Amino acid sequence: MDITGRLERFFSQRRIFFFAVVIALLAALPAFGFSRYIMRICIVISIYSMLTLALNLVAGYTGQLSMGNGGFYAIGAYTATLLMINAGLSFWSSLVVAAAFAGISGFLLGLPTLRLKGSYLTIVTLGFGEIVRMILMNWDTVTNGTLGVRNIPLPSLFGVSLSFTNHGLYYLALVLTALVSVFCALVINSKVGRAFIAIREDEIAAQMMGIKTVRYKVLAFVLSATISGIAGAFYAPMVGYIDPNSFTFDISSQIISMAILGGLGTMRGMYFGAAALIVFPEVSRFLMDYRFVIYGLILVLMMRFRPQGLLGWRTRLPYRFGKVLERQLAAEGSLPPLL
Amino acid sequence: MAIFIQQLCNGLALGLVYALVAVGYSLVFGILRLINFSHGAVYAFGAHAAFFFVGLNFGPVPAIIAALVITGLLGVVIDKTALAPLRKKRSVPIAALVTTLGISNIIQNLLVVKFGSQRKPFPDFFNLGAFTLGGIQFSSRQFVMFGVSLVLLLLLLLVVNKTKIGLAMRATAQNAKAASLMGINVNSIITLTFLMGGASAAIAGGMVGGYYQVVYPGMGFMIGLKAFAASVLGGIGSLPGALVGGLLVGVIESIAALYIGSNYRDSMAFIILIVVLIVRPAGLFGKNEVVKV
Amino acid sequence: MKRGVFVLALVLAAFLAVGCGGGQSQASSVPVKIAVALPMTGDNAEYGKSFLTAAEIMVEKWNKAGGVLGKQIELVIYDDKNSAEEAASIAQKIVSDKDIIGVLGHFSSGVSMTAAPTYQENKVIEISNCASHPGYSKIGNYIFRNNTVISAEFNVIVDVVANDLKLNKVGIIAIKTDWGNTAGGIAADLVKANPKLTLVAHEEVLETSDDHGPAIAKLKAAGAEAVIAVGMYSLYGPLARQYKEVDPKIQLLGVSNAYTQQIIQLGGDAVEGLFAPVSFFAQSDDPEVKAFVDEFKKRFGMEPSALAAQAYDSIGILLEAIKSAGSLEREKVRDAVNSISYPGITGPTNFDSIGDADKKFQKVRIQGGKFIQYKG
């Protein structure tokens, strides 16, 4: 039996045990006395886990590849920051408003553009991400333009400031990621999630079955944007400084790479992808110049040899090419021509 | 007014270069229904190839021709190594899209490794001096750029519309399966398409390099996105569309830079893109594709 | 179940091994470590690499002479890609290495200012050879700037325009970045405050674009006689070429960034006559400068920029301070840096109470395809 098959069996047989171990380990992590540097990497991984989970709702389950999630992330970060600094709101209320605001912008983007299909949609979302950045750069009076916003206060709970030193930031990241994960799992396993998957599998068939496809696609976008917004709202106080260049196209592209490496349409793949691609550049600093080349190679090789992602076993997903899909392609003749 | 006319000319010259890059997107999209994200990086590669051959003391024209050949070949290599296997496996479109994204990363960063990320001086190929017309100063570079691009685009149109190879390309674009039944070698048509796309990108890269007299690895990112917007505006897959779309994006951008501010110029392409996709997704010259169930 | 426990044990062991690795590094014969945190990849990699070369030359010079306090000196290199996020994580990495006494870096002001609080908190001395934001050095008393203060540069530029060139209508063209925004604003205020000058236009351009046509058109329409260009080296070549095409008589002035060979390569004839204030002049006869320039050229293939020279001096300042403090105690070294009077290749340097270096300027102008010193 091949290695992936064995791994697959191992993990699916001991799922609950495995969950428990991971959760216990993560909760106990600060007790091991890691350096702040390593704890920081863990926090960054959790932020990107939220971002990839968000992308996963749209790209993995609903089948709409978004390249603009960096834009929602930016909106979340800026909304929360400006509320905390200018309106003096607490982190918690800013977080809620930022998430809502990102969700609304996801709705606004989603409404008109989700009538588009495939590649067109992808490009519009990319354009959206760039426009968000342009607005942040040029709307000086509100966003402070290219200078960015500095001295963003740390979140505090019952008067205790959550920092790196007291591991408050780490636990906050952990709790947020856990909440987002539970939320995603609930959505995916609900009626809504099944509608998402139906749209991904065959949009026309879904429509025939009475699923209001546009409505569900917009909903997927809103949920994805909201979660990205939460990640952004947490990121800003964590680094303490944001500027438009923190939210370039590279972020969106990185999120996609992570999700694809791990396996779109699976949740475990998201954590794995985020962790792998955050840790990889950290340990390979000696490769310096070739780092980004390898990044690109990962995408190309994954698509060629394991498009369902490294952990993409038993996914009910588009990136696994069963007989059904092949038959369907053959029947359609030239329609998706060759590719 | 003088400023306006100057910017209009500037926009037209830039626009034709966008059109030349946009053609690369359109050719590939027409045949494969694939948005080739690596095209911007291929364009930067073309400019660097020209820069490299100029450094070896090739004259300007041989340097551009050498660059054109090698960049065309790069296009073919991309297809043969990364995209053709996906077609064979009948992967979903997203797989190809992501692959081109990865290739773009690879090419751009290999350029950084080889040439460094800084801007490098590119010789002033086609400067015949500035001249004044009706009180307005014009640069001859703009006219050379405009002229060369226009001739190339017309040539390309001619090839696609009037030759046998062009007929085969159009047939493949319409229905690959039927085309292959008619005895057209679809694979060599695809190879040819990537060759032409790469070559036109190299020419565009060489010209923009000569116009601003700088080349650098990151030069392809923005222009790639703008050219993509241009091809969508014109109707992706349509060559006359790429021409008109490129001109429109170039002019709108230059005029916007003048009246709204230089820092908004890059967003214009995206705003155009989004508006077009919402109002008329098929673009100005494109046909709506009917989805058969 | 057995296998599960085994895996768990393995994972735990791995975590513990990594965790302990970070803590122990207090050996006796450790070298004096200085971190270099600069962009080594990405768009500003050339800057980072050139500063690193300069720093290496200085360190080798010291090591040949026996090191400092009898110990060899080691540079620890970090690539921050000029990104705030990377820099924040690198700063954590640097402060968790207790042997690192100081940092040369980071590149842009925004990035430096993200990392600086971490250094301040952990008493690691940060000397930036290029941060220009006024707020940078105010972050704390361990944060130093061995760079010219941008307003001092503009004072020289404004003086050249008003008194040497006797021009009146001044335009400003600045890149749209955090640095360009601040610097452009300072330049505008100084021009406005000078009774002999009129500010006719203030344009912003994108750093990613090489087409400055629209901004030039506006500056020309406003009747600018002299244009102060506020940007990185990459701005000057294309700007000068495009401007000279529409107005051959225009007088361009740059900040100290413009003093690099690259702008002559990129700008050709068009940058002839361009003015810039510099703290470091590579063609100088000073033997110390000559030795550095020759060595730098040999390793890097081109002449050092003023910023590279400041990187060289920054390392020198740090080592000299360690030597005069006579120990590696953070507080003592910091005090020594603050009270130093260092005769560097970028002129005599001392720091004020905020941590800013006080620099003297020379004026240079491009003539006949090279920089020459301009004397009023």
* Tens-digit pLDDT profile for residues C52-108: 999 999 999 999 998 888 889 999 999 888 888 788 888 988 998 888 999 998 898
User: First CA to last CA across chain A, in angstroms?
Assistant: 32
> What are the DSSP calls for B129-158, one per residue?
-EEEETTEEEEHHHHHHHHHHHHHHHHHHH
3-state secondary structure at position C84: helix
Residue B253, pLDDT above cutoff 70: yes
Least confident of A22-31, B78-87, B190-199: A22-31
What is the sign, positive or negative, of the torsion defined by CA atoms of C18, C22, C24, C25? positive
Cα C321 from chain centroid?
20
Average pLDDT, chain C: 84
Query: Which residues contact residue C159 at a Cβ distance below 8 angstroms, ignoring those fewer than 6 apart?
Result: none
User: What does the block give as tokens for A185?
Assistant: 């799992």
Alpha carbon distance C92, B78 (integer Å): 41
Q: What is the mean pLDDT of residues C252-280?
A: 86
pLDDT of C73: 92
User: Do A64 and A222 form a contact (C-beta atoms < 8 A)?
Assistant: no
Q: Look at residue B288 in the predicted model and tell me its pLDDT.
A: 62
Per cent of chain A over pLDDT 70 is: 85
C-alpha distances in angstroms, A84 versus A94, A136, A155, B33? Answer: 6, 17, 10, 46
A25 touches chain C (CB under 8 A): yes
- pLDDT tier, B39 (very low <50, low <70, confident <90, very high otherwise): very high
Q: Extract the tokens encoding C220.
A: 């020309």
Query: Which value does ipTM take for this structure?
Result: 0.83
A10 and C3 within 8 Å at the Cβ level: the answer is yes
Shared-domain flag, residues C157 and C124: no
| Judgement on whether residues C193 and C269 belong to the same structural domain of the protein | yes
Nearest chain C Cα distance for residue A36, angstroms = 6
Residue C268: other Cβ atoms inside 10 A: 18
Distance CA C173, CA A29 (A): 52
Nearest C-alpha in C relative to B8: C214
Which of C235, C254, C278 terminates a domain? The answer is C278
Is pLDDT of C367 > 60? Answer: yes
Tens of pLDDT, residues B109-123: 899 888 877 788 887
**Which band of pLDDT confidence, cut at 50, 70 and 90, is reported for residue A3?**
low
Token pair belonging to A277:
């691609």
CB A168 within 8 A of CB A157: yes
Cα distance between residue A117 and residue A62, in whole Å:
12
Compute CA distances A145 → A174, B263, C203, whole Å: 31, 11, 15
Cβ-nearest to B277 among A113, A290, A338: A113
Tell me how far apart the alpha carbons of residues A70 and C133 are, in angstroms, rounded to a whole number: 27
Say whether residue A38 is in contact with chain C using an 8 A CB cutoff: yes
Q: What percentage of chain C has pLDDT greater than the value 70?
A: 92
Statement: residue A99 has pLDDT above 90: yes
Whether residue B213 and residue C41 make contact (CB cut-off 8 A), yes or no, is: no
Q: By CB neighbour count within 10 A (0-12 exposed, 13-18 middle, 19+ buried), where does C195 fall?
A: exposed
pLDDT tens digit sequence for A40-97: 889 999 999 999 999 999 888 888 888 888 999 999 999 999 998 888 888 898 999 9
- Is A196's pLDDT higher than 70? yes
Position of tokens 């250094």?
A: C119
In single-letter form, the type of residue at position A236 comes to A
Percentage of the residues of chain B whose pLDDT score is greater than 70: 93
pLDDT at B170 over 60: yes
Are C68 and C132 contained in the same domain? yes
**CATH 1.20.120 correct for B2-279:** no
CA A162 → CA A154, A155, A165, B17, distances in Å?
6, 6, 8, 53
Q: Do C237 and B213 touch (CB under 8 A)?
A: yes
What is the span of the domain harbouring residue C75? 32-148+286-349
C216-244 burial by CB neighbour count: b if 16+ within 10 A, else e? Answer: bbbbbebebbbbbbbbbbbbbbbbbbbbb
Are B98 and B35 a contacting pair, CB within 8 Å?
Answer: no
Write the CATH number for C264.
3.40.50.2300
**Tokens matching residue A70:** 């960096």
Domain count, chain C: 2
pTM: 0.80
- Chain C residues in contact with chain B using a Cβ-Cβ cutoff of 8 Å: 41-46, 176, 203-206, 208-215, 217-218, 220-221, 233-234, 237-238, 241, 245-246, 262, 265-266, 268
Does the residue C14 lie in any domain? no
Beta-carbon contacts below 8 Å between A and B: 162
Least confident of A172-181, A319-328, B88-97: A319-328
Residue C188 CB-half CA count within 13 A: 14
Q: Is the peptide bond before C133 cis (omega within 30 degrees of 0)?
A: no
Residue A335 confidence (pLDDT): 36
Element (H, E) at C117: helix C109-121
Domain regions of chain B by residue span: 2-279
Torsion angles phi and psi, residue C77, rounded to 5: -100, 130
> Do C128 and C167 belong together in one domain?
no
Examine the pLDDT at C278 and tell me if it is beyond 50. Answer: yes
CA distances from C360 to B254, C177, C376 (A): 42, 26, 15
Rounded CA gap, C184 and C203, in Å?
9
- Average pLDDT on B153-172 reads 88
Shortest Cα distance, chain B CAs vs residue C287, angstroms: 30
- Interatomic CA distance for residues B18 and C2, integer angstroms: 64
Look up residue C112 and give its two tokens. 């430096």
Specify whether the CB–CB gap between C255 and C160 falls below 8 A: no
Q: Say if residues A97 and A153 touch (Cβ distance below 8 Å).
A: no
Q: Which residues of B touch A304 (CB under 8 A)?
A: 82, 85-86, 99
Helix (H), strand (E) at residue A275? helix A268-283
- Which residue of chain B comes nearest to A137, CA vs CA? B263
Query: Which pLDDT band, with edges at 50, 70 and 90, does B49 fall under?
Result: very high
Tell me how close the Cα of C324 comes to any Cα of chain A, in angstroms.
Answer: 32
**Whole-number Å distance between alpha carbons of B131 and A241:** 50
- 3-state SS class at B286: coil
Of the residues C278, C310, C336, the one at which a domain ends: C278
* Position C299 in a domain: yes
- DSSP letter at C30? P
Residues in chain C: 376
**Residue A291 Cα distances to A297, B45, B105, B109, angstroms:** 10, 19, 10, 9
Q: How far is C202 from chain B (nearest CA, A)?
A: 11
Residue A268 has pLDDT above 90, yes or no: no
Q: How confident is the model at residue C181 (pLDDT cuts 50, 70, 90)?
A: confident
State residue A289's pLDDT score.
Answer: 65
Q: What is the pLDDT of residues A127-177, one digit of tens each?
A: 888 888 888 888 878 887 777 787 788 887 887 777 777 788 888 999 999
Q: Which residues pair with C275 in a beta bridge?
A: C253, C365
**What's residue A203's pLDDT?**
79
Cβ within 8 Å of residue C344, ≥6 positions away: C309, C312, C313, C316, C317
Nearest to B263 among C206, C238, C268 (CB): C206
Inside any domain, residue C358:
no
Could you read off the pLDDT of A226-239 as tens digits, one per residue? 999 999 999 998 88
Beta bridge partners of C159: none
> What is the average per-residue pLDDT within B15-35?
86
Distance from CA of B155 to the nearest CA of C (A): 28
Q: How far is CA A168 from CA A39, A165, A228, in A?
A: 11, 8, 21
Nearest of B267, B63, B88 to residue B186 by alpha carbon: B88
Contacts of B220 in chain A (CB under 8 A): none
Q: Would you call A32 and C19 a contact, using CB atoms and an 8 Å cutoff?
A: yes
Which pLDDT score, from 0 to 100, does residue B135 have?
65
Phi then psi for residue C325, to 5 deg, are -70, -25
More confident site: B11 or A121: B11
Same-domain status, C223 and C185: yes
Contact A147 C176 (CB under 8 A): no
Is C138 in the same domain as C197? no
